[in-house]
Structure 1
């Protein structure tokens, strides 16, 4: 059920959104053909570019300082929405969540909740492995997605039509 008020509110949202994609992958970051093999990053780039401005894309290793620096550089260059893929699991090298959550000035709790609810319907209890999250840092939105292409499709499907609306509120 759609809210008429929300639909009217969304019509006043900005259309132009500057996006950046960060793939965290030790394997792909050290591979000359990493960009070709990065199916999740490729999907994000292609889908975001259909509706918004894709201003930045990079593949980095699972390293805390590298992730923090990359986020800072993207925001400094005007990126308003950063979507990361990879590094959200439970393994020791999965550092995305531990790195970005302390940066959040505000958490967008509903994103992770909706993501896991949809994942549970598709995967069952395997969805417990997902720690997808989102928040606002320096007026930019950061969405952290798992590395699998199916998870990226699920996560982007939740937010792609709302990015302008979310930007409007995050920038106030």
Structure 2
């Protein structure tokens, strides 16, 4: 990625908060069934675990769950996480174009502000790697009730790309949100 940074952006990063609590929500009907059967996050939730591992290096991950592809359940889970003090929520899954993919529509219905640049950068970098198939990506981000929410596709490679884009900027973004 191109590395052009302004002096003010660097100053903002230097004064960014470090006490950032994160939440991870995996949306998957099949992984949710596994979760219901065992009561534990399934080992097969590679994408959710990637997010938790990446976030845990610099921030606390206080919430991590698996839910079905259900809009009402997504909203209630987000409300629960926000009520528990989570500042940044990542979702993985449910961003495709299938009939059960409801993440993007659900989030756009609650976002108070959208961070269009995230989806644009995500698709651009995906295009550079995958070609025109990147048009299937509906990764998005926004703000709801003072909380940043990033919606990533469910594939581990997509989550790795999302981590590369967002994780270094979390403190900077939260600083702006708290001002």
TM-score with structure 1 setting the length: 0.97
Q: Which runs of 5+ in 2 are unaligned?
A: none
Q: In the alignment, what sits opposite 1:8?
A: 11
Q: In the alignment, does 2:42 pair up with 1:35?
A: yes
Query: Offset of 1:5 from its aligned partner?
Result: 2.1
Query: Offset of 1:169 from its aligned partner?
Result: 1.1
Q: In the alignment, what sits opposite 2:99?
A: 92
Q: Give the alignment of 1:19-168 within 5 angstroms.
A: 19-31=22-34, 32=38, 35-168=42-175
For these two proteins, the number of residue pairs brought into alignment is 172
CA contact (8 A) 1:140 1:171 kept: no
**CA-based RMSD:** 1.0
**Cα deviation 1:118-170 (Å, max 9, x = unaligned):** 00001111101100000000000000000000000001110101101100111
CA contact (8 A) 2:41 2:65 kept: no
Q: Which runs of 5+ in 1 are unaligned?
A: none
The DSSP-based 3-state class of the residue aligned with 2:26 is strand
TM-score with structure 2 setting the length: 0.94
